[in-house]
Amino acid sequence: MIGVFDSGVGGMSILRVLRKVLPRENFIYLADQAHVPYGPRPLLEVRHFSEQITRALLAQGVDLIVVACNTASAAALHYLRATFPDTPFVGMEPAVKPAAEHTHSGVVGVLATPATFQGKLYASVVERFAQGVTILQDTCAGLVEQIEAGALDAPATRAILERALSPMLAQNIDTIVLGCTHYPFVRPLIEEIAGPQVRVIDPAPAIARQTAHLLGQYHLGETGAPTGGIRYVTTGGAASFGAAVRRLMGESTPEILTWHWQEDDASLSP
Ligand code: DGL
């Protein structure tokens, strides 16, 4: 079984592709909606949440974990690999490399959270792959909250994106990197604002390929007929999460579970 987690609904932009590429696998998807958004929080706090979520997922018997959150990957990926050396992890990093390879104008826009921009992972990706390319960044303040609320096409959502993208477009970007897993859900709006000459990069297919590769390498893949099921878990409210799963994953009757953070030791128990 594969564990997938994010601060909220964003990781479902990865899960929907994982499900297509790996139809035999069983998934457990955890949305830490008790703490969303992660982006404005200190990296150490996000690392702590990520560790507790990892422990809870491992207790459920997952063999591999996809950290379907750029912020949690920035805060915790190295730490998780060192702390749980027997578990393969797939993590996110903003897709600066393919963007730098494909840009013609030499100007690339990256949309990600404040914590992702602060992390060493992002700095190292820019240093390694974006030499000679101008990178323009924006944190799209408030956008994660709009997506959590299901306001994918609301005037306020459009206003956030127009404010972020207008200065980038004025500086001739031809590529936009979606550096937060929530943002693929507003891709139609981003494409409408940016126009057809701007290419938008969603890392989900590359993450799914990497997951398939690791499953093979560790001999963890399910064989036999496609039976893959998904259990959806939230640390927040089950009703609103269920509505989001129906809307974003097209599931008619998803199984929704709630897990609780224990106030005394800040651990997570199913
Ligand atoms: N979806 C997340 C990411 O990829 C986190 C967004 C947030 O909680 O701020 O960064």
Picking from 149, 176, 202, the residue at the C-terminal end of a domain is 202
pLDDT of residue 238: 95
Q: Which of 12, 14, 38 to mutate to test the pocket of ligand 1 (most atoms within 8 A of CB)?
A: 38
Backbone phi and psi for residue 84, each to the nearest 5 degrees, phi listed first: -125, 70
**pLDDT band at residue 112 using 50, 70 and 90 as cut-offs:** very high
Alpha carbon of 42 to ligand 1 centroid (Å): 13
Residues 150 and 167 in one domain: yes
The whole-number pLDDT of residue 253 equals 87
156 and 109 within one domain: yes
Assess whether 32 and 115 both reside in one domain. Answer: no
Same domain, 6 and 65: yes
Catalytic annotation, pick one of 28, 76, 180, 189 = 180
Is residue 140 annotated as part of the catalytic site, yes or no? no
Is the pLDDT reported for residue 155 higher than 90?
yes
Of ligand 1's listed atoms, the one at least distance from the Cα of 179 is 4
Domain boundary (202, 233, 258) is at: 202
How many domains does the chain contain in total? 2
Mean pLDDT of 24-31: 96
Does the structure show a pLDDT above 90 at 218? no
> Is residue 190 located within the same domain as residue 134?
yes
Structural domain boundaries enclosing 25: 2-92+205-269
Based on the domain organization, do 246 and 169 belong to the same domain?
Answer: no
Same domain, residue pair 74 and 101: no
Please give the structure tokens belonging to residue 173.
């970007």
If asked whether residues 119 and 195 sit together in one domain, one would say yes
Same structural domain, 73 and 115: no
Q: Which of 12, 18, 69, 76 is catalytic?
A: 69
Segment 14-19 shows an average pLDDT of 97
Ligand 1 atom closest to 92 (CA): 4
With contact defined as beta carbons under 8 Å apart, do 64 and 56 qualify? no
Domain CATH number, residue 249: 3.40.50.1860
Which pLDDT tens digit goes with each residue over 56-74? 999 999 999 999 999 999 9
69 is catalytic: yes
pTM of the model: 0.95
Q: Quick one: pLDDT at residue 261?
A: 86
96, pLDDT greater than 90: yes
Class of residue 105 by CB neighbours under 10 A (exposed 0-12, middle 13-18, buried 19+): middle
d(CA 147, CA 154): 10
Mean pLDDT to the nearest integer, 132-140 = 97
Boundary of a domain, candidates 186, 202, 218: 202
Q: Which atom of ligand 1 is nearest to the CA of 182?
A: 1
Q: Please, which pLDDT band fits residue 221 given cuts at 50, 70 and 90?
A: confident
Do 259 and 229 have their domain in common? yes
- Ligand 1 proximal residues by C-beta, below 6 Å: 6-8, 10, 36-39, 69-71, 113, 116, 144, 180-182
Does the pLDDT value for residue 263 go beyond 70? no
Residue-averaged pLDDT of the chain:
95
pLDDT at 265: 60
Do 107 and 146 belong together in one domain?
A: yes
195 in the same domain as 219 = no
Distance 103 CA to ligand 1 centre (A): 25
